[in-house]
Amino acid sequence: MNVCFRNVWYPDYENKTLVRGTFYVDGQRITFKEPEHIDAMFADTLVTPGFFNGHSHVAMSLFRGIGDDVDLDRWLNEYIWPLEARLNDDYVYWSSMLACMELVRSGATTFLDMYFWEKATLEAAEKVGIRPIFTPGIIERPGWEKALQRTEELKDLGALVGVGPHALYTVSMNILPDVVKFAKENDFFIHMHLMETASEEAYIHNVLGEEYLHRLEDIGLFEVPVVFAHGVHFSEKDLSFLGTKNVVVAHCPQSNMKLSSGLFRWDLARDSGVPVAIGTDGAASNNNLDYIEEMRTAVLLARGVSGKPDVLSPMDVLEAATSVPARRLGLELGEIRDGYLADLVVWDVEDLCMVPADDPQDWISHVVYSAGAQAVSDVFVQGRWVVRNKSFVGVNPSEVVEEVSKRRRAIRKEDLIR
Ligand SMILES: [Zn+2]
């Protein structure tokens, strides 16, 4: 697919401004050189890079609204883990379809996922057209090594992969060194939940001590890029340490607030030089996968807890939502730049939430502080047109709604779902 974006406005992260210019999609990539033929054209509007969802469990959409009013410990033990024991490829496929559609509708073009049954999610993601990055979940129990095998198999299928030790309370120092060794040998990044709740903080300090990050350093964990999800309870000392490492924190504000896990301090992370990405987490603890809403929650929370209305500019927020995690993982996406993968969102700048704008520069503020998914007009992922004039391409939403609802009824059990 070759597309011309003529005289459009797009972000220039280096100069922290919107610039106006013409660029193209030539096949899968962005170019500033006009291709031989053009299949479609957009002009005089706002185009941004697609959003990078920094932390998700897309197959959990099936559990939306279950266990709404409990903390993380009870939520996992009493609701999620018993339900997950009943999942299979079929459930995961349809749940992932629902999630991928919800993500792409809000402009997300990549999601970094940690779960199980990844091949079913891969199939759904391919159908919808969104890019998954898989980190098969490792939980220390007999047969945990299978997650490493799945990582290799997914890579062989052409998917982007990393290694996913679930958390320090589910993966102990008995096996973590082997997991890290596997990541290093294969040049994979690591994706792990860390310091999500106060009880996890107490557990880690008790088992590994307050210098737990040094213990992780001793086993070589920071020798590959690392994505830590949540990081709500990092101390300032932790953040200064992490500021010297190749780390990005995936901040999941809505999940953290819904589970009453605490409030992440983006301002302190930033002051320590720790890059921040934004993630939705799973729909079971969010409870939606609207990336635009997540981005706005993240910046409002940063302003609220820091007491500084200028703590982040709208352009800083957009950068965290697009290029920050991609750059950390060495991926050529998240920026409108020559040769980068064509992951693009075309905005409906005449939608009610995008007006008025005296100057096109206002659009960046509107995207961050005002827009909803209804302002996303078109989405391209690696040059493939996946949302066209606010409709999914090649996917029938009513079929997905019906199939997902059928499966939700099938797992319904009075004592689990109240
Ligand atoms: Zn998570």
Tell me the CATH number at 114: 3.20.20.140
Predicted confidence (pLDDT) at residue 300 exceeds the cutoff of 80: yes
Name the pLDDT band for 418 (thresholds 50, 70, 90). very low
Residue 66 phi/psi, 5° resolution? -95, 135
Predicted confidence (pLDDT) at residue 413 exceeds the cutoff of 80: no
Amino acid at 155: K
Question: Are 295 and 322 contained in the same domain?
Answer: yes
> How far away, in angstroms, is 8 Cα from ligand 1 center?
36
**Closest by CA position to 75, among listed 255, 285, 281:** 285
Question: Are 317 and 344 contained in the same domain?
Answer: no
> How far away, in angstroms, is 311 Cα from ligand 1 center?
26
In this structure, is residue 398 part of a structural domain? Answer: no
> How far away, in angstroms, is 74 Cα from ligand 1 center?
15
* Cis upstream peptide for 136 (omega within 30°): no
Element (H, E) at 110: strand 108-113
Question: Are 173 and 125 contained in the same domain?
Answer: yes
**Closest by CA position to 302, among listed 328, 271, 260, 332:** 271
The residue written with tokens 């941004």 in the block is 48
Contact 267, 305 (CB under 8 A): yes
Question: Are 159 and 229 contained in the same domain?
Answer: yes
Residue 18 phi/psi, 5° resolution? -85, 140
Predicted confidence (pLDDT) at residue 407 exceeds the cutoff of 60: yes
Domain containing 244: what range? Answer: 51-328
Predicted confidence (pLDDT) at residue 238 exceeds the cutoff of 60: yes
The predicted pLDDT at position 85 comes to 87
Average pLDDT over residues 258-268: 97
Predicted confidence (pLDDT) at residue 415 exceeds the cutoff of 60: no
Element (H, E) at 138: strand 137-138
> How far away, in angstroms, is 282 Cα from ligand 1 center?
7
First to last CA, the chain: 47
Q: Which of 328, 361, 381 is the last residue of a domain?
A: 328
Contact 147, 138 (CB under 8 A): yes
In this structure, is residue 404 part of a structural domain? Answer: no
Question: Are 218 and 345 contained in the same domain?
Answer: no
> How far away, in angstroms, is 294 Cα from ligand 1 center?
14
Predicted confidence (pLDDT) at residue 205 exceeds the cutoff of 50: yes
Domain count, the chain: 2
Tokens of 263: 């409030």
Question: Are 31 and 61 contained in the same domain?
Answer: no
The residue written with tokens 């992951």 in the block is 343
For residue 71, give every residue at least 6 positions away whose Cβ sits within 8 Å of its Cβ, in sequence order, or none.
197, 259, 260, 261
Question: Are 320 and 351 contained in the same domain?
Answer: no
> How far away, in angstroms, is 167 Cα from ligand 1 center?
9
pLDDT in tens, 350-365: 999 999 999 999 999 9
Contact 253, 279 (CB under 8 A): no
Predicted confidence (pLDDT) at residue 18 exceeds the cutoff of 80: yes
Contact 63, 284 (CB under 8 A): yes
The SS3 of residue 41 is: strand
> How far away, in angstroms, is 206 Cα from ligand 1 center?
22
Distance in angstroms (rounded) separating the CA atoms of residues 298 and 368: 10
> How far away, in angstroms, is 288 Cα from ligand 1 center?
14
pLDDT in tens, 283-295: 999 999 999 999 9
> How far away, in angstroms, is 319 Cα from ligand 1 center?
22
- 327-347 burial, b at 16+ Cβ within 10 Å, e below that, comes to bbbebebbbbbeebbbbbbbb
In this structure, is residue 401 part of a structural domain? Answer: no
> How far away, in angstroms, is 44 Cα from ligand 1 center?
39
Q: Percentage of the chain surpassing pLDDT 70?
A: 99
Question: Are 12 and 120 contained in the same domain?
Answer: no
Question: Are 147 and 23 contained in the same domain?
Answer: no
Contact 411, 79 (CB under 8 A): no
The predicted pLDDT at position 360 comes to 96
Half-sphere exposure of 203 (CA within 13 A, CB side): 14
Residue 160's beta-bridge partner residues?
133
Question: Are 144 and 187 contained in the same domain?
Answer: yes
> How far away, in angstroms, is 10 Cα from ligand 1 center?
31
Question: Are 148 and 208 contained in the same domain?
Answer: yes
For residue 258, give every residue at least 6 positions away whose Cβ sits within 8 Å of its Cβ, in sequence order, or none.
68, 285, 286, 287
Average pLDDT over residues 84-92: 93
Name the pLDDT band for 297 (thresholds 50, 70, 90). very high
CATH of the domain at 356: 2.30.40.10
> How far away, in angstroms, is 305 Cα from ligand 1 center?
22
Question: Are 223 and 311 contained in the same domain?
Answer: yes
Name the pLDDT band for 410 (thresholds 50, 70, 90). confident
In this structure, is residue 377 part of a structural domain? Answer: yes
Average pLDDT over residues 58-86: 91
The crossing angle, in degrees rounded to 10, of helices 362-369 and 291-306 is 90
What does pLDDT average to over the chain? 96
> How far away, in angstroms, is 225 Cα from ligand 1 center?
18
In this structure, is residue 386 part of a structural domain? Answer: yes
Contact 104, 125 (CB under 8 A): no
Contact 154, 118 (CB under 8 A): yes
**Closest by CA position to 137, among listed 154, 156, 158, 125:** 154
In this structure, is residue 402 part of a structural domain? Answer: no
In this structure, is residue 110 part of a structural domain? Answer: yes
Q: Which of 298, 328, 358 is the last residue of a domain?
A: 328
Q: Where are the beta strands (DSSP E) in 231-296?
A: 247-251, 276-278
The predicted pLDDT at position 414 comes to 47
Beta-strand relationship, 29-31 and 17-26? antiparallel
> How far away, in angstroms, is 226 Cα from ligand 1 center?
15
- Burial class (CB within 10 angstroms; exposed 0-12, middle 13-18, buried 19+) of 187: exposed
> How far away, in angstroms, is 373 Cα from ligand 1 center?
23
Name the pLDDT band for 86 (thresholds 50, 70, 90). confident
Task: Give the chain's radius of gyration (CA, Å).
Answer: 21
Q: Which of 312, 328, 344 is the last residue of a domain?
A: 328
For residue 65, give every residue at least 6 positions away whose Cβ sits within 8 Å of its Cβ, in sequence order, or none.
287
> How far away, in angstroms, is 274 Cα from ligand 1 center?
19
The SS3 of residue 25 is: strand
> How far away, in angstroms, is 284 Cα from ligand 1 center?
10
> How far away, in angstroms, is 86 Cα from ligand 1 center?
19
Query: Which residues have CB less than 5 Å away from ligand 1 (the ion)?
Result: 281
In this structure, is residue 341 part of a structural domain? Answer: yes
Q: In sequence order, which ranges of 187-290 are alpha helices (DSSP H)? A: 198-208, 212-218, 236-242, 253-258, 266-271
The predicted pLDDT at position 416 comes to 53
